[in-house]
Structure 1
Amino acid sequence: MPLAGFRSLMSAFATGVAVVTTLGADGLPYGLTCTSLASVTASPPILSVCLTTRGETLRALRDRGTFAVNLLHERGQRAAEIFAAPVADRFAEVGWEPTPTAGLPRLTDDAFATAECRVSRLLDVGDHTMVLGMVTEVVQMPATPLLYGGRRFAAWPDGPIPQPDPAAEAASLPSSFRGSPC
């Protein structure tokens, strides 16, 4: 399949927008915009992100063994663009603070949810590395997610996603969805 055809196919798939962050061995924050985020298992809670193998963020993530996934809200487009571009000091351009548990960079102005993760497996696939992360902590607030598809940004059309209530959420799912994220 030609590369252009593959890119066209994948650009037609709308998805949420996240910024994956970590700290390097030097204590400096690293991060990049990621739309290749997926739930892998609910028990244990594992997600996957795919990062370019040649990037500094992946190198820091490998060294640290932990990372954060910052889900961007509808006003987070600027942060998505900053973390997708070759900006010298991305973190000087956005508001952030260390997460309370692992001290990882949390985007305070642009993310409505942040998941702290511990690396459980790395798998090199072509020019990317699939990172499987065990979710150890989640901070979330109601907000409207930022979406990306068709090479453009958009907001969730029905407004904010409410604060999660795990018990109510599990009870409201059809039995075919319970216990399986996919």
Structure 2
Amino acid sequence: MVTPVQDELAVTRDAFRALMSAHPSGVAVITTADAGGTPYGFTCTALCSVSLDPPQLLVCAGNNGSTLPVLAARGAFTVNLLHGAGRRAAEAFAGPAAERFCTVPWRPAPVTGLPALTEDAHATAECRVARLIPAGDHTIVLGEVLGIRTHTPAADEAPLLYGMRRYATWPA
């Protein structure tokens, strides 16, 4: 017997947040810059690979954040995959927008010139926006990967994870 699907959602925001917090994810900081060079960014755990040919990935950006409109207008972004010592960057980019780039060292990435967090990330991927897909209170940003760079010595650091509302690193 098939159970019919309800038309109305009975799941609350808190229940859904609790469900997803029980699923640990890697932590990244997504960065971009406006036409004047002002950097923008946010902490992201909604990230995954999409395609090998061409190399594509996706990130999910909140519709109410300051970064998404800049990212869409610029048409490019950098994915900074954080290592365990990059927790300060994860916290900074989850906080007030005005303070994000004041406390975390960065430099222009080689392909796009967008911010790369070379001290807090073990790797970066520079991407061109291939497609924006509205999805509730977020937008799925599909990116074509233009360049990849690993950072030394951070390349040897364990990846930063987030789950159950706390940070951890990949076990040795």
**Equivalents in 2 of 1:39, 1:45: separation in Å?**
8
Partner of 2:37: 27
Partner of 1:126: 136
Q: Secondary structure at the match of 2:167?
A: strand
Q: Secondary structure at the match of 2:19?
A: helix
Q: What amino acid does structure 2 have at the position aligned with 1:46? A: Q
Contact map agreement 2:63 2:139 (CA 8 A) in 1: yes
Q: What amino acid does structure 2 have at the position aligned with 1:38? A: C
Partner of 1:151: 165
**Equivalents in 2 of 1:7, 1:101: separation in Å?**
36
Superposed displacement of residue 87, structure 1: 4.4
**Equivalents in 2 of 1:64, 1:39: separation in Å?**
22
Partner of 1:56: 66
Runs of 4+ residues deviating >4 angstroms: none
Unpaired runs of 5+ residues, structure 2, are: 1-10
Q: What amino acid does structure 2 have at the position aligned with 1:135? A: V
Q: What amino acid does structure 1 have at the position aligned with 2:68? A: L
Q: What amino acid does structure 2 have at the position aligned with 1:8? A: A
Superposed displacement of residue 143, structure 1: 2.4
Contact map agreement 2:111 2:146 (CA 8 A) in 1: no
Contact map agreement 2:92 2:99 (CA 8 A) in 1: no
**Equivalents in 1 of 2:94, 2:67: separation in Å?**
12
Superposed displacement of residue 26, structure 1: 2.2
Which of 31, 42, 47 aligns to 1:37? It is 47
**Equivalents in 2 of 1:114, 1:94: separation in Å?**
15
Partner of 1:113: 123
Are 1:137 and 2:142 matched, yes or no? no
**Equivalents in 2 of 1:119, 1:64: separation in Å?**
9
* TM score, norm. by length of structure 1: 0.84
Q: Identity of aligned pairs, percent?
A: 56
Q: Secondary structure at the match of 2:84?
A: coil
The total of aligned residue pairs comes to: 158
Partner of 2:96: 86
